[in-house]
Structure 1
Amino acid sequence: MSVLLLQLAGPLQAWGSSSRFARRTTEPAPTKSGVIGLLAAALGRERSHDPGDLAALRFGVRVDQRGTPIRDYQTAHHFETGRSMPVSERFYLADAVFVAALEGPDDLIDTLHDAVRHPVFLPYLGRRSCPPSRPLDLGVRHGGIEQVFKQEVWRASRWYQRRRRREPFVRLETIIEATAGDGRVDTLRDQPISFDPIHRRYALRGVRHGHVEIPNPAASQPPDHDPIAVLEGA
């Protein structure tokens, strides 16, 4: 088994699992349906294509930089008739960084890795208005998701890491798909069954919340500026 690692970072992200009508919410971390949709688009699949092979992959997320929830109030008019469209509320995560992992057979993971590096359709982070600000590709690892999350370096922004430079290690939240041997788990309705716009369908999926501790690369580093440099030039 192999694990495909993806870096999900951007000014805005939106990962809905229960959005309805004019109120479009977001989960605090990427959903499995959203990331599977991203990979299906990278492969060039149509929305009517059966996502069963991708949905069978085990999925996990590590929260490297928790985003700030923001609300956008939107109005619009129909271009041809000028008639007002329904007012909508859309929620986003600003300045968030996640590491997403998909675990599965080597051949399928390698195919997805190639698609991420050479996507047919451009990727976006939950909604088309949310392009990534960094390359998605973090490569392929061997082992389970839990092990990979413990070994992967902290992907938060440099300014965010420097805020915690007094901490040699950081504790990051993980949300990993539950297995049969797990005890009590939470559930999310983000297991994709169909992306067909006529009848989108999602099933419940068990997830297990946990944490990993990894080194902080900014720990004990001096600040980027010299506070007395101005005085020396006087």
Structure 2
Amino acid sequence: MKYLLFRLYGPMASWGEIAVGESRHSAVYPGKSALLGLMAAALGIRRDEEQRQAALATGYRFAVKVISTGHPLRDYHTAQAPDSVGKFVYRTRRDELVIGKERLGTILSSREYRCDAFSLVAVVADDNAPYALEEIQEALMKPRFHLYLGRKSCPVAAPLNPQVTDATGFGEALDKYRYGALFVSSWLMKTARKETPEGGILSDAPSLMKFSREDENVFAYNKQPVRYYWEGDAGDLVSQQSLTRHDQPLSRSRWQFTQRTEHLRIGKGEC
């Protein structure tokens, strides 16, 4: 079976959970809605294009291999916004601050982020998938819209390095994916050039196909067992626990989601 693999890294990420009141919690790894949003942005699908969004939401299954959950960060956030005025709609942020100036109030919220989190993602297309995995791979390399890790304040900090490969299951696909170095120093680039034969591809140099020394130093402070999360049949992973997540999109324009079942395995071990 074919799998699309890519990596997700940024200095900050926020994988939203159910929001209650002023608290905006973050999961330690991306959920299905976040990954679908990332793919939709790369493909140029807008949030109000309901049919294209619905086809995307039902056409693919995901697995996530969490290398590092990162460090937690909490931001005490304040923002000014006017209260509602009947049926009047503020079209822009400028309208809120200028037209609604006399009705401004302060909104308080506590928002969670993950710093230096690193995950690998595997995607498999079902029979009703609207795009081939190769099309999504191309879109991730040349996205139509900006790509974010949950919030606009959390841009992707390294190329996603998407690859399409054959594997017997999610576990094999994620384990054999060469995600490569995140921080490439001048010394590492010089080493990679020496390893690349004339006419060869620089990215295939052995030293660039694994973490650099700087990467190892960053993730050494948060050493954890590798975790696998997936939905449906993994093919080669045995579930240790089943989880319920509220991140299956029903309507992007109305911001509605429903529940789905996800499986967890900590460390691959013997399956």
* TM-score bracket for the superposition, by shorter chain length: 0.7 to 0.9
Distance 1:9 1:163 in 2: 12
Quote the residue 1:8 is aligned against.
8
Query: 14-23 or 154-163: which moved more?
Result: 154-163
Query: 91-100 or 68-77: which moved more?
Result: 68-77
Deviation at 1:213, TM superposition (A): 5.5
Quote the residue 1:179 is aligned against.
233
Matched to 1:102, the amino acid is: V
Work out which of the residue numbers 100, 105, 110 in structure 2 matches 1:89.
110
Deviation at 1:14, TM superposition (A): 0.5
Work out which of the residue numbers 177, 190, 198 in structure 2 matches 1:152.
177
Change beyond 3 A, Cα 1:87–1:164: closer
Distance 1:178 1:171 in 2: 23
Give the aligned length. Answer: 208
Work out which of the residue numbers 54, 57, 64 in structure 1 matches 2:56.
54
Distance 1:125 1:164 in 2: 18
Matched to 1:121, the amino acid is: F
Quote the residue 1:45 is aligned against.
45
The question of whether the paired residues in 2 share the 8 Å contact of 1:178 and 1:185 is answered with no
Deviation at 1:58, TM superposition (A): 1.1
Change beyond 3 A, Cα 1:88–1:163: closer
Change beyond 3 A, Cα 1:68–1:108: same
Matched to 1:122, the amino acid is: H
Distance 1:162 1:12 in 2: 17
CA RMSD in angstroms comes to 2.8
Matched to 1:95, the amino acid is: D
Distance 1:164 1:180 in 2: 27
TM-score (norm. length: structure 2): 0.68
Distance 2:218 2:147 in 1: 30
Quote the residue 1:161 is aligned against.
216
Quote the residue 2:121 is aligned against.
100
Structure (1 or 2) with the greater helix fraction: 2
Work out which of the residue numbers 193, 202, 215 in structure 1 matches 2:257.
202
CA deviations on 1:72-92 (whole Å, 9 max, x unpaired) are 001123532173331111110
Deviation at 1:60, TM superposition (A): 0.8
Q: How does 1:136-151 map to 2 (within 5 A)?
A: 136-143=160-167, 144-151=169-176
Consecutive unaligned residues in structure 2, runs of 5 or more? 82-96, 181-210
Q: Secondary structure in 2 aligned to 1:135? A: coil
Consecutive unaligned residues in structure 1, runs of 5 or more? 215-234
Quote the residue 1:218 is aligned against.
none
Distance 1:33 1:123 in 2: 14
Query: 80-89 or 130-139: which moved more?
Result: 80-89
Distance 1:176 1:76 in 2: 36
Distance 1:157 1:73 in 2: 34
The question of whether the paired residues in 1 share the 8 Å contact of 2:71 and 2:116 is answered with yes
Distance 1:73 1:164 in 2: 26
Distance 1:36 1:126 in 2: 11
Q: Secondary structure in 1 aligned to 2:145? A: coil
